[in-house]
Amino acid sequence: MAEKVVFYHAGCPVCVDAEQRFAGALDKNLYQVEVVHLGEQPARLDEAERAGVASVPALVMDGAVYHINHGADLSALR
Amino acid sequence: MAEKVVFYHAGCPVCVDAEQRFAGALDKNLYQVEVVHLGEQPARLDEAERAGVASVPALVMDGAVYHINHGADLSALR
């Protein structure tokens, strides 16, 4: 079964670039990617923070957080 | 033809974790990943820096640099 990964972003250019690169580059046989736009879904900010996300864009895979470059701090989205 | 991407690291725990996650997660039909250990191959530091790499681990895809979390600044490897 494909492992679920969550890509958090906020629509910023850095985010969109990373989304197109990474969400599309992952092996779809191994990973099922959910893309969450925290600007449009602020209700998921708490979940992202609990997962360890400090800034976007970020990818959460199996409990591990990968901050990819830097678009915006999570605090700027609240 | 698979696009070539280069994953630069320096053997640090943050690097190794990111390497195992990302180098293995990319779709092998689309990407051919070269892993470069800058601690063991310091001759490639200049190339990495020219590509825009400021710290490791970093992934260079089609001219774009993605710094994934932060293990060590490139300057610490010289």
Is B31 an interface residue toward A (CB < 8 Å)? yes
| Predicted local distance difference test score (pLDDT) of residue A61 | 92
A10/B71 Cα distance (integer angstroms): 25
Would you give the DSSP letter of residue A40?
A: T
| Predicted local distance difference test score (pLDDT) of residue B51 | 97
| Beta strand spans in chain A (E) | 3-9, 31-37, 55-61, 64-73
Residue pair A27/B27 in contact by the 8 Å Cβ criterion: yes
In a mutational test of the A interface, the residue from B3, B60, B62, B66 whose CB has the highest number of chain A CBs within 10 Å is: B66
| Predicted local distance difference test score (pLDDT) of residue B7 | 96
Inter-chain residue contact A25 with B27, CB threshold 8 Å: yes
A22 beta partners: none
Q: Does position A4 have pLDDT exceeding 90, yes or no?
A: yes
Would you give the DSSP letter of residue A58?
A: E
| Predicted local distance difference test score (pLDDT) of residue B48 | 97
**Residues in chain B, pLDDT under 50:** none
Peptide bond into A13 cis (omega under 30): no
Q: Quote the pTM value.
A: 0.91
| Predicted local distance difference test score (pLDDT) of residue A62 | 86
Residue pair A7/A23 in contact by the 8 Å Cβ criterion: yes
Q: What is the pLDDT of residues A23-62, one digit of tens each?
A: 889 999 999 999 999 999 999 999 999 999 999 999 999 8
| Predicted local distance difference test score (pLDDT) of residue B67 | 96
B32 beta partners: B4
